[in-house]
């Protein structure tokens, strides 16, 4: 049940009319405790939406008892009026749940510039409706996950059980603008483990750094990205921090993979791994450079194993390597060895959706992986008409 798999939480997702589709578009998740410890990471985009600005301040004390999310309007670049909308959303949530506004995180997703009087009225009405429908059953969990979707084709859910029986559950939304710094789109993770803010913060940052921060579908970073982790402590279990972090990484990795697989218009899910690097940073830099090459992404869309585009992208980085020592393997076929052609490219089968690219720098022992997608006609069409 994702965010309701852990004890101590209630949630709901309702139709507030923000979307023109008539689908659920406001979600509330509540932590009933006994603990209210929380942590969150946000987009590193300097142009941040009003909910991000609010939530950064709200989480500063390391606690959060509720999170309110809406889809259908980003409430970004909507001026002071937009910030007041976020503030009123937190205030109304707090009033209904007998909390302080600073106990409430707020998230929005949708079109930048959307957030007028109608948006405000529907958002606030949606909060009231969601609080009235709060539950802890599977239907409530499903409705909550549905209420945060925009161009997604389905909900993204994950959960794990840790040593002793504590649970971590999460839900995510995201199908475009997947190139974050610390977070990807909107993600809510809950746990009934009993951990303080500092431990949650360390675990969350460790997890997002190797999962959500490694999803780079289209090189475009959102203004609204938020990953929030709330701990109710309801299991009474205080897990080993390393073990908890490991479980949290698994939850985040599964959600990140689902984000990749639902990327707008994609026909190939591409896993790019760079090995033999002098540092993890070098490995990630090379993999990310390839993932952001439109020439490479277009080639994969056309089922063309053009490994020259991989090398060209790697060469734009500052990573340590000798250009004439690079190896490239695509879907198990080493098409380039020591900077020269090797196995025939016609042996590479690019018909399957899952695509792997392995780059060996022969410069060290480190590696790093980036998840991306191909560049398709459908992606261009969907984003050419996003605001119309």
Q: How confident is the model at residue 180 (pLDDT cuts 50, 70, 90)?
A: low
Q: How far apart are CA 259 and CA 371, in angstroms?
A: 10
Domain end (from 261, 292, 321): 261
What pLDDT score was predicted for residue 5? 97
Q: How confident is the model at residue 301 (pLDDT cuts 50, 70, 90)?
A: very high
- Cα distance from N-terminal residue to C-terminal residue, the chain: 35
Q: How confident is the model at residue 179 (pLDDT cuts 50, 70, 90)?
A: low
Whole-model pTM? 0.93
What mean pLDDT do residues 326-349 have? Answer: 98
Q: Let me know whether 289 and 230 are in one domain.
A: no
State the DSSP string of 52-81. HHHHHHHGGGSB-SEEEEEES----S-HHH
The more confident residue out of 178 and 75 is 75
Q: Let me know whether 321 and 352 are in one domain.
A: yes
Domain end (from 239, 261, 283): 261
Q: Let me know whether 178 and 40 are in one domain.
A: yes
Domain tally for the chain?
2
Residue appearing with tokens 């089968």: 349
Q: Let me know whether 358 and 304 are in one domain.
A: yes
Average of per-residue pLDDT values in the chain: 94
Which range marks the domain in which residue 95 is found?
2-261
As given in the structure block, the two tokens for residue 115 are 């957030």
What pLDDT score was predicted for residue 266? 87
As given in the structure block, the two tokens for residue 182 are 């610390």
Question: What 3-state DSSP class applies to 15?
Answer: coil
Domain end (from 223, 243, 261): 261
Based on the residue annotation, tell me whether 184 is a catalytic residue of this protein.
yes
- 177 has a pLDDT exceeding 80: no
Q: Let me know whether 25 and 54 are in one domain.
A: yes
In this prediction, what percent of the chain has a pLDDT beyond 70?
97
What pLDDT score was predicted for residue 372? 94
What pLDDT score was predicted for residue 114? 84
Q: Let me know whether 235 and 317 are in one domain.
A: no
Q: Let me know whether 135 and 237 are in one domain.
A: yes
Predicted confidence (pLDDT) per residue in 197-254, tens digit: 999 999 999 999 999 999 988 777 889 999 999 999 999 999 999 999 999 999 999 9
Q: Let me know whether 58 and 207 are in one domain.
A: yes
What pLDDT score was predicted for residue 370? 96
In this prediction, what percent of the chain has a pLDDT beyond 90?
83
Q: Which of 27, 43, 184, 376 is catalytic?
A: 184
Q: How confident is the model at residue 76 (pLDDT cuts 50, 70, 90)?
A: very high
Rg of the chain taking only CA atoms, in angstroms: 21
- 181 has a pLDDT exceeding 60: yes
- Residue 101 maps to which CATH number? 3.60.70.12
What pLDDT score was predicted for residue 197? 98
Q: How far apart are CA 108 and CA 70, in angstroms?
A: 5
- Strand ranges (E), 129-166: 156-161
């Amino acid at each position: 049940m994702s965010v309701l798999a852990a004890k101590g939480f209630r949630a709901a997702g309702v139709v507030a009319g923000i979307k023109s589709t008539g689908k659920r578009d406001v979600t509330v998740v509540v932590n009933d405790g006994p603990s209210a410890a929380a942590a969150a990471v946000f987009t590193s985009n300097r142009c941040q939406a009003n909910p991000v600005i609010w939530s950064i301040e709200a989480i500063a004390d390391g606690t959060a008892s509720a999170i309110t999310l809406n889809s259908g309007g980003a409430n970004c670049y909507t001026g002071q009026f937009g910030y007041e909308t976020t503030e009123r959303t937190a205030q109304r949530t707090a009033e209904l749940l007998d909390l302080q506004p600073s106990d409430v995180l707020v998230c929005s997703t949708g079109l930048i510039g959307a957030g007028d009087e109608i948006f405000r009225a529907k958002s606030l009405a949606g909060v009231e409706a969601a609080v009235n429908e709060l539950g802890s059953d599977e239907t409530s969990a499903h409705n909550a996950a549905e209420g945060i979707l925009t161009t997604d084709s389905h909900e993204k859910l994950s959960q794990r059980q840790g040593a002793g029986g504590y649970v971590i559950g999460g839900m995510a939304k995201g199908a475009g603008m997947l190139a974050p710094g610390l977070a990807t789109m909107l993600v809510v993770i809950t746990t009934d483990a009993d951990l303080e803010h500092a431990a949650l913060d360390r675990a969350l940052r460790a997890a997002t750094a190797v999962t959500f921060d490694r999803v780079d579908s289209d090189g475009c970073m959102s203004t609204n990205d938020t990953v929030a982790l709330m701990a109710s402590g309801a299991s009474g279990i205080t897990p080993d921090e390393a073990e908890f972090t490991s479980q949290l990484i698994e939850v985040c990795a599964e959600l990140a993979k689902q984000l990749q697989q639902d990327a707008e218009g994609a026909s190939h899910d591409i896993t790019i791994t760079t090995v033999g690097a002098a540092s993890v940073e070098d490995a990630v830099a090379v993999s990310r450079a390839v993932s952001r090459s439109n020439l490479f992404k277009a080639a994969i869309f056309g089922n063309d194993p053009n490994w020259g585009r991989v090398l060209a992208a790697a060469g734009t980085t500052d990573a340590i390597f000798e250009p004439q020592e690079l190896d490239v393997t695509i879907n198990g076929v080493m098409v380039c060895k020591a900077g020269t052609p090797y196995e025939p490219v016609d042996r590479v089968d690019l018909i399957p959706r899952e695509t792997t690219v392995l780059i060996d720098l022969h410069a060290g022992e480190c590696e790093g992986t980036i998840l991306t997608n191909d560049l398709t006609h459908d992606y261009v069409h969907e984003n050419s008409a996003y605001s119309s």
